[in-house]
A and B are shown apart, each in its own frame.
Chain A
Amino acid sequence: MSKQRVVITGLGVCAPNGVGVPAFKEALETGKSGIRFYSELEKLKFSCQIGGMPLISEAVKTKYFTPLQLRNFNSAGILYGVVAGVEAWQDAQLPTDEEQCDFDSGTVFGVGSLGVDKYRESIYKIDEGNTRRLGSTSVQQTMSSGVSAYLGGMLGLGNLVTTNSSACTTGTEAILMAYERIKAGKAKRMLAGSTSDGGPYVWGGFDALRILPSKYNDKPTQASRPLAGDAAGFVPGCGAGALVLESLESAQQRGAKIYAEILGGSSNSGGQRNEGSMTAPNPIAVKRCIEDAVVDAQISTAQIEVINGHLTATSKDGLEIKNWSEALKRSGVDFPYINSLKGMTGHCLAASGSIECVASVLELKHQFLFPNINLHTVHDEVLEHISESKIPRVKTALKFNYLAKASFGFGDVNCCLIFKTF
């Protein structure tokens, strides 16, 4: 059986600097930060009292959820995932049949930890001996697959409905898994995305690791500084991104708008060997992941024109640039353009990959590069490998066709995707 080509026909996003694709696109173009100070974090004595959270109005909530669904609802990850996922589905102009499920449509919607606030609420009741008062929805709001379960029901999905989890690689991996399913002819349409809860109970562990910036509590929008010499750690974020992936055949049959094509991708792990550990990447595996993605896409490394990096604003940014440079065998001015969304959104953890893929697809579709914000002096380790001219600091119009996106996560896991204009 011939392999299916896979295109993107819908986008949805719920990001700290913009909820909904139009607001998010504008934020990308203007370099708008979504990082804010949270007094709750100050009260709880966090070192880092800032973060990135999508601002969801009551009107948006009631647009996507029924009053019954909102009753006793307290799962931010499901809220973000549903807002992004349903937006993507509607953007693709796919119908939702209220009577029958669609066996050709499914979802891979990843999470890190889900429903943490609901879990906390339940734990208090359980410890008080009040388990019987949890209500009927505490399971569905806290199970990892809660977000795919909500989306599956709202959209009537009848193909694979599942949730993946691989730390900060989750979102990019979800898209790769959905791509592979369509390519193999096992589904015609897949909603691919990921979501992450935020707030003190998700971010606390990172604060304890002392890897978050603590000197920017009074100037939050300047805190996230990927690639910078004075990068001070990653700013925690949350939200969700979603893409409708569709076989080219299905998209053309129904005359769908096509944003871009996915040419291929790869995922692997460094096995926490060599320089790799639970929290640090094995460079051999990172490079191999990028190389394998290029091979899978059936292009050459010379064709990559733009990279959307993982680039979290920790001390690992220099190593990431080195890995890209060695994997692509390109350096200096020959290196592709590269940017990191995390300057604007912070690190949205399990949601970062999908939100950043939405940004990448918007760049391809509208032929521009979003700016790397908060970048005044590029880190020396970065400049050892690539030219400063390849790191745009303002919105830049660019005619280009090939974009590589990679995400890396705790557990020494990697994922890389290759997108192309259509």
Chain B
Amino acid sequence: MSQDIYPQLKEIIKPYLPEDVNPDAISHESHLVTDLNINSTHLVDIVLDVEDAFDITIEDDELDKMETVKASIALIEQKLAAR
């Protein structure tokens, strides 16, 4: 499952990268803010894009489960399984 989610998530994250961060820098371990330098206000946009792409709803108190790529994939998998 996570093999399918990862490339999709990577595409979602890409537009929010600062201009000086190469998309190749995205890995499973990446922390969106501290490693990829994504402006933290954009996390809400990433959440909305993830919701649209996977047809799931992420609650406000789950935002801290999306700090890294790996944690985000886990959360998406959990949401998809519970659907």
A: which residues have CB within 8 A of B?
66-68, 71-72, 132-133, 135-137
User: How far, in whole Å, are A404 and B69 apart by their CA atoms in the complex?
Assistant: 60
Question: How many inter-chain contacts with C-beta < 8 Å in the A-B complex?
Answer: 21
Which residue of chain B has the shortest Cβ distance to A139 in the bound complex? B41
B19:A136 contact, CB within 8 angstroms: no
Which residue of chain A has the shortest Cβ distance to B19 in the bound complex? A66
B17, B19, B44: the one within 8 Å of A135 (CB): B44
A135:B48 contact, CB within 8 angstroms: yes
- Residue interface mask B8-45, A partner, CB < 8 A = 1: 00000001110100000000000000000000011011
B48:A133 contact, CB within 8 angstroms: yes
B51 to chain A, nearest CB (A): 8
A132, A133, A136: the one within 8 Å of B42 (CB): A136
A71:B15 contact, CB within 8 angstroms: yes
B17, B41, B45, B60: the one within 8 Å of A72 (CB): B45
B1 to chain A, nearest CB (A): 26
A136:B15 contact, CB within 8 angstroms: no
CB-CB under 8 A from B60, the residues of chain A are: 132
B66 to chain A, nearest CB (A): 14
Which residue of chain B has the shortest Cβ distance to A71 in the bound complex? B15
User: How far, in whole Å, are A186 and B30 apart by their CA atoms in the complex?
Assistant: 45
B20 to chain A, nearest CB (A): 9
B8 to chain A, nearest CB (A): 18
B: which residues have CB within 8 A of A?
15-17, 19, 41-42, 44-45, 48, 60
User: How far, in whole Å, are A355 and B15 apart by their CA atoms in the complex?
Assistant: 34
User: How far, in whole Å, are A136 and B49 apart by their CA atoms in the complex?
Assistant: 12
User: How far, in whole Å, are A184 and B70 apart by their CA atoms in the complex?
Assistant: 56
A-B contact pairs, 17 of them (CB 8 A): A66-B19, A67-B15, A68-B15, A68-B17, A68-B19, A71-B15, A71-B45, A72-B45, A132-B60, A133-B48, A135-B44, A135-B48, A136-B41, A136-B44, A136-B45, A137-B41, A137-B45
CB-CB under 8 A from A72, the residues of chain B are: 45
B48:A68 contact, CB within 8 angstroms: no
B5 to chain A, nearest CB (A): 22
Which residue of chain A has the shortest Cβ distance to B17 in the bound complex? A68
A384 to chain B, nearest CB (A): 59
B15:A135 contact, CB within 8 angstroms: no
CB-CB under 8 A from B17, the residues of chain A are: 68
B33 to chain A, nearest CB (A): 13
Which residue of chain B has the shortest Cβ distance to A70 in the bound complex? B15
List 13 additional A-B contacts (Cβ < 8 Å) besides A68-B19, A72-B45: A66-B19, A67-B15, A68-B16, A68-B42, A132-B60, A133-B48, A135-B44, A136-B41, A136-B42, A136-B44, A136-B45, A137-B41, A137-B45
CB-CB under 8 A from A132, the residues of chain B are: 60
B12 to chain A, nearest CB (A): 12
B49 to chain A, nearest CB (A): 10
Which residue of chain B has the shortest Cβ distance to A67 in the bound complex? B15
A195 to chain B, nearest CB (A): 23
User: How far, in whole Å, are A16 and B45 apart by their CA atoms in the complex?
Assistant: 33
A197 to chain B, nearest CB (A): 23
Which residue of chain A has the shortest Cβ distance to B42 in the bound complex? A136
CB-CB under 8 A from A133, the residues of chain B are: 48
User: How far, in whole Å, are A132 and B48 apart by their CA atoms in the complex?
Assistant: 9
CB-CB under 8 A from B45, the residues of chain A are: 71-72, 135-137
B22 to chain A, nearest CB (A): 15
Which residue of chain B has the shortest Cβ distance to A72 in the bound complex? B45
Which residue of chain A has the shortest Cβ distance to B16 in the bound complex? A68
CB-CB under 8 A from B44, the residues of chain A are: 135-136
User: How far, in whole Å, are A68 and B12 apart by their CA atoms in the complex?
Assistant: 12
User: How far, in whole Å, are A68 and B16 apart by their CA atoms in the complex?
Assistant: 6
CB-CB under 8 A from A71, the residues of chain B are: 15, 45
Which residue of chain B has the shortest Cβ distance to A136 in the bound complex? B41
A125 to chain B, nearest CB (A): 11
Which residue of chain A has the shortest Cβ distance to B40 in the bound complex? A136
A68 to chain B, nearest CB (A): 6
